[in-house]
Chain A
Amino acid sequence: MSNSKVANSGKDATSAYNVEAVRAQFPIFEREIDGQPLHYLDNAATAQTPRAVLDAVAVHDSRHRANVMRSIHHLAEEATEAFEAARGQVAQFLNATSPTEIVFTSGTTGAINLVAHAFGGTLQPGDEVVISQVEHHSNIVPWQMVRDRIGITLRVLSASADGAVDLAALQAIVTPRTKLIAVTHGSNVSGAMTNVAPIVAAARAVGAKVLLDGAQRAPHGPIDVQALGVDFYGFSSHKTFGPNGVGVLWGRSEVLDALPPFMGGGEMIRTVTLDETIYAEPPHRFEAGTPPIAQAVGLGAALAWLCAQDLTGAARHEQRLTGRLIDGLDDIDNNRGLIRLIGPRELDNRLPVVSFAIEGLHPHDICQLLDGHGVALRGGHHCAQPLMDFFGLTGTTRASVALYNNDGDVDAFLNGLDDVIKLLKP
C-alpha cells in the first residue's frame, strides 16, 4: 500500500447509518485480493449479494425446486407460489398496480428487447422512436434493429455537458409521429439522473409511450412507476443485489394487454392447435419457456432485503462517499488539469457513479493498477460508445458506490489512483 495519503477520513460521518453492519451481511467481503481487503467499487456493473439472498436461492433449489405453472405435485405448487410471490415483491418495489404488470426477463437488456420486438412490431414505417446519446447500448441497438426491420425513424436527444439527457431540444424532437421515448432513468457513465416529467409530458402530448431503463436506479431503493407516469420500466437483478440471469420489465396493464408476444413457446399460451394459438394474458404472454425460477425468488429476496435497510441513511451515506470521490479527484488533480470528471458535480439528484478521464492515461491501465490495490473498478466505454463520442473519449474510469461501501474503499481508491498517476505520469 502506498505511503501517499490523499484522504483518510477515519470513521463514517453519517454515524446513524451503520455501514459495517450492512457490509457484514455480504460474504464476499470476507475474502482478500492478493492479500489485501476487497474494495469493490464496480457496483454499476454488478452488485454483490447478501447472505439473505444466497440463502433464499439455496433453500429454493434444495427444498422447492420444480417447474412452475405446469405440474400439480407438491414441489411444483411451492415453486409456483415462490415465483409468484417474487413477482408480488417486485410489484411492491415498483408500486405497480398489480403483479400482472411484472414480466420476468433475463435482465434490463431482455426487457428492452422485449419491448423493441413486441411494441416495436406494432410500429409502421415512418413512425418515430426517440432515444438519447446518453443511453447504454442496450437501449440503442434494439431500436436500430427495429429501424432496420420496419423502417421507423430514430431521433436522438443529445447529452448535456454533465452527461445527462439534454431536454433542450425535446419539443423539437418529439413530433406527432413519435410513438415511444426510450431513455435511461440514470446514466451508467455519468451518474446523472434524467428529468423524467418533461419527457412524459411531451410523450403524452402526442400519444407516445415512455420507457425508462432503470438498471442504475433500481439498486438505490423503491421506484414509483405510477408517480413517474411512464409506460415501461426495466431493471436487472444482478445490479440490485440479486442473482444473475433475471430481470424485470414492468408495463402498464393497458399497454401490456395490447401487445403481441415476443417469443413463442410454453407458458405463454392459453390454447394451441396445429392451426393457431391463443395467447395467455400478461404477464405470462411474455414469459415463453421455463423462467429463471430460483433467480426470480432470489430477486424477490434481494428487494425485500433492500427495502428492510435504512435507505434514507444509505442514500446520505452514498452521497457523502460520492462527494469524497469527487473532492478526492480534485485534490489529486491539484489544479493540473489532468483529471476530467464526466458527470455532475452536484451531489443532489445524482447516482453514486463517478466517471473520470485522465489525460494520456487509458482506463484499463488505471483499473489494472488499482486492482493491485484490491480496488475493483470499471474502465472502458461502459457500453455507451455514443456518449464517449460526445465527450471525445474512447473510455472513462468509473467508481460506483453501493450501500455497503465504506470510507476505507474510497481511501484505497484515492491513494491507489495517486500512485498510478505517479507511476504512469511521473
Chain B
Amino acid sequence: MKKFSNKYIFLYAAILVAVAAVTLTVVSVSLKPRQLRNQEIERKQMLLRAIGIEASAAEAEEQYGLNITEDTLWTDNDGVRQALPYYIFREGVVLPFRGTGLWGPIWGYIAVDEDLTVKGAVFDHKGETPGLGGEIAADWFAHQFVGKSLLEDGVLSPIVLKKHANPNSPHEVDAISGGTMTSDGVTQMLADGVESYRSLLEAFSNVSESEFSDDVDVEEYE
C-alpha cells in the first residue's frame, strides 16, 4: 500500500472539503429563489385552505390574489412596536398562529367571520411524530374547529384541545390521543395568538359589516 505523509493527508482533506463547500454553495444560491417561491406557494395554499378553497400549486397565486388581502396589525408591546400580519377575506379575517409542538415549530391559520365564528382552520408542523402529534396537519383535526367560536358572552376566549371534549362546547375540540405534548402546544399557540391579536379581534367583532368592507377594495373579490 502506498504511504501517504501527514502533510498530504491534511492537504487532501482540506482541498476536498473546500471543493465540496464551493459546489454546495453555488447550487444552494442558484436554487434559492425557486425554493423560496415553493415555500411561498405552500403558505398561500394553506391560507386558501383555511378559507375553504383548494388550490393546486399552479392556481394558488391567482386564487390568493383574488380572495385574500394582506394587512398588518401594529401593537404596542411594552413600548416596542410590533407588526403582526393578518389576512382579510370575503367573510372575515384569517389569523396566523405560531407555536411550539413537541419536536419543533407548529403553525396554522384560522379564519373567522365577524361573529368570531371559525369558518376554517389549517395546521402544519415541522417534525411532529407521524400518526400522533403529526395528525394536527390532517383534515379531520382541522375540520373540528369549524363552527367553534373565539367569543364567549362578548369576551375573547380561545379554543382549547381536551381529552373527551364536549362536542357542543364552542371552545373545545378533541385533543389527539398519543399526541398530548403537541396538543398542549396547539392550545398554547391558540391562546397566545388570540392574546396577540386581541385588539384586532375586539375591534373587528364590534364593527358592522358595512363599515368593515369600506376598508377593503371590493373589486378584488370579483
Same complex for A and B? Answer no
A interface residues (Cβ-Cβ under 8 A, vs B): none
